[in-house]
Structure 1
Amino acid sequence: MRMVVRRPLARSDLPHDTAALARYLIGKIVVRELPEGIASGRIVETEAYVAGDAAGHGFRGMTPRNRSLFLERGHAYVYLAYGISYMLNVSSEMPGIGTGVLIRALEPLDGIPIMRLNRGIERLRDLARGPGRLAMALRIDRSLDGLDLCREGPLWLASDGRDPGEIGQSVRIGISKDADRLLRFYVRGSPFVSGSRSLNP
């Protein structure tokens, strides 16, 4: 049996274009190192928030809250949405450009008992299906904001070389500005993808 090796994503391998990065991250792995063990999931859904995007947090410029979005590509930007759910984003372009990729859903891989405890549910499909759910499952909060995701640590991005399968593309979910742009990417046929069936043909 071949041993699967996971390696941190090299920053030099990350596309400079935000939409290209959102597609590239499909099939990669989010790894969370916790005191009780490692929890991880394969990325099955992302959304790109590109330069000049009215729906992006960097649209009006840098603030203390969003400064991690303006870091070199491959850093974590974590924010609290509606005072309820944390969201994990990956900064996506050159330093000073406030663009990013929202990680929307994961297929759970490692540490499933940890994720179930964090989420307070048993159903595997729902552990990390949606950005708020995945952040809760992996215990991601603002303490991880600004972290370099291209090196091993509390939170990092990995590849095991697996082909993600067929990638679909659609409009983004839950936004009102620039809502018609096809900047959401997902694994076709994955039960772990969020959103309605009409968005996941």
Structure 2
Amino acid sequence: MSILIRANALSKSYGQLKVIDNVSVEIEAGKLIAIVGPSGAGKSTLLNLLGSLDKPDSGEVFFEGVSYKSLSEKKLAELKNRNIGFVFQFHHLLPEFTAVENVAIPAMIAGTSRKKAEELAENLLDKVGMAHRLSHKPSELSGGEQQRVAIARALINSPKIVMADEPTGNLDSKNAGQISQLFQDLCSELGITFLIVTHNDNLAALASRVISLRDGKIV
């Protein structure tokens, strides 16, 4: 089993509050992995550290053996753009752009031509069940549809891992169930690792591994 991300002795505090306390963890390639725990346990902070959206106070994170610390800001940005897709509770779609354009933007940032990027975006939107909504803007989409667009956007550069923070948190139970199943299907079909922070028991039940956090520690 190949290890995609390895974290050694991570700690992170905000003021006097220690949010992550000496956490070491390995994330295997090709797995659907859930991070669970009560509110305030440090789940989102751990995800942000593993995805290099935040920096630890101490400890180190390695992506395929390469330490984030060893990379320049430019190289780290390139690594994230090409290897890590992000999905958040709030979709962060750009309101002035269509679904296709929102999905295509990260590919164009990576240097793909607009024509090719939009072709890739259309294929991914079809894969997530949004082929009928390609030209719709976010305001014309339901919450579940917006989240599907956000998932397609996270996949556009064929990342090795998709990190999702409470991706079903704002959805009703029907849409939450559909999005949870979509993650499992995409993991199986594409072989991409999914690392998901969730309070959703049904989503956690689909994971091949569950990491449980409490008071900043893995339990």
Fold match, TM over 0.5?
A: no
Q: Which bracket does the TM-score occupy, shorter chain normalised?
A: under 0.3
Could you say which structure has the higher helix fraction?
2
TM-score by length of 1: 0.25
Greater radius of gyration (CA): 2
TM-score by length of 2: 0.23
